[in-house]
A and B are shown apart, each in its own frame.
Chain A
Amino acid sequence: MHIPDGFLNVPTLAATGVISAGTIGVAVKVAAKKIGEKQVPLMGMLAAFIFAAQMLNFPVAGGTSGHLIGAALCAILIGPWAGVIIMSAVLSAQALIFQDGGLAALGANILNMGIIAVFGSYFIYRLLTKILPESRRGKLSSAAMAGWTSVMLAALAAAFELSSSGASPFNVVGPAMLGIHALIGIGEGLITMLVVSAVMASRADVLQMERI
């Protein structure tokens, strides 16, 4: 859901840019307090993995495709503030090097996929892991729901930005974005669950580390 340049107007670009820049600043400060030795390579590995996984568009209904965002994976495997840093780095590289997502729209893309999706899935995961039984199945169901919700929240945020830019009225673009992303989000949920399950099977202690 990388927004290209041209879709958003200047006030929306400016507002989203300011919010994202400010949040990244806070993320660096929080990470500086909490980061441990193991989290440095984990951050790099997650960024590389999410970048590669984002290249793999999978088909959904009606000649449309979707790809992983990875925000929920970050939120679950390392924590929300480190997640903001990882997702911002991936989205910045995609805009700067790969011309995927507009450069002026980078702030909006970071806000949607790197901040709202990360924190949304973090809170959903925390909430569900408290409600559901403390089992492997409970954790994996929470991860899948966190993945789906992250996509829906990012789509909702993008729809707000598009409507505030006058691209399309919210009552039209909102349901359309949420409708198609409800399907794409299933893919996000499944991949998130699969990766969390692989981490549980190989290094379950990663899930016990302090969240950043």
Chain B
Amino acid sequence: MSFKKWWLIGLGLALVLATLSPLASGSPDGLQKVAEQQGFSGTATQSQFQIIAGYLLPGIHNETLSKIVAGWLGVGVMFAAVYGIGWLIARKKHSSPSL
């Protein structure tokens, strides 16, 4: 298998995982649970702005679909952003004179 095919399959798996995200447990996570038990969960403050808060894309009323699309968007954004960062770092490597 070529390396490109391999990482494309990995990327595809990420999309599959995002598609399964509506099945995730909605229970509080470890930190939230501890905060509730120890009485400081109420000190949490809301963000000043909300873009895709709670992994639900605004504008899609079906919550399941909204979460799936938000997950796909996130997968795309993460791949593009970190590929871009890696590319910039690699370019810096090749353009700098070797010491």
Give the interface of A toward B (CB within 8 A): 1-7, 28, 31-33, 35-53, 55-60, 62-67, 82, 85-86, 89-90, 93, 96-100, 102-103, 155, 158, 162, 167-168, 172-173, 176-177, 180-181, 184, 202-203, 206
- Supposing A66-B29, A67-B29 touch, asked if A52 and B43 sit within 8 A by C-beta, the answer is no
| Sample of 28 A–B contacts (CB below 8 Å) | A3-B31, A4-B44, A5-B45, A5-B47, A6-B44, A7-B35, A41-B83, A42-B7, A43-B85, A44-B82, A44-B86, A46-B82, A50-B78, A52-B71, A52-B75, A53-B17, A55-B67, A55-B71, A57-B29, A63-B28, A64-B30, A65-B28, A85-B89, A93-B78, A98-B55, A99-B54, A100-B55, A103-B47
Q: Which residue of B lies closest to A42 (CB)?
A: B7
Residues of A within 8 A of B18 (CB): 52, 55
Bound CA–CA A37/B75 (angstroms): 22
Residue B93 contacts which of A32, A49, A53, A168 (CB distance < 8 angstroms)?
Answer: A32
B60 at the interface (CB under 8 A from A): no
Flag if B45 contacts A49 (CB, 8 Å). Answer: no
- Using CB atoms and an 8 Å cutoff, list the residues of chain B in contact with chain A: 1, 3-4, 6-7, 9-11, 13-15, 17-18, 20-21, 23-31, 33-35, 37-40, 43-45, 47-48, 50-55, 67, 70-71, 74-83, 85-87, 89-90, 92-93, 96
Q: How far is the CB of A79 from chain B (nearest CB, A)?
A: 13
B27 near A47: Cβ-Cβ < 8 Å: no
Q: Please tell me if the beta carbons of A59 and B70 are within 8 angstroms of each other in the complex.
A: no
B31 touching A35, Cβ below 8 Å: no
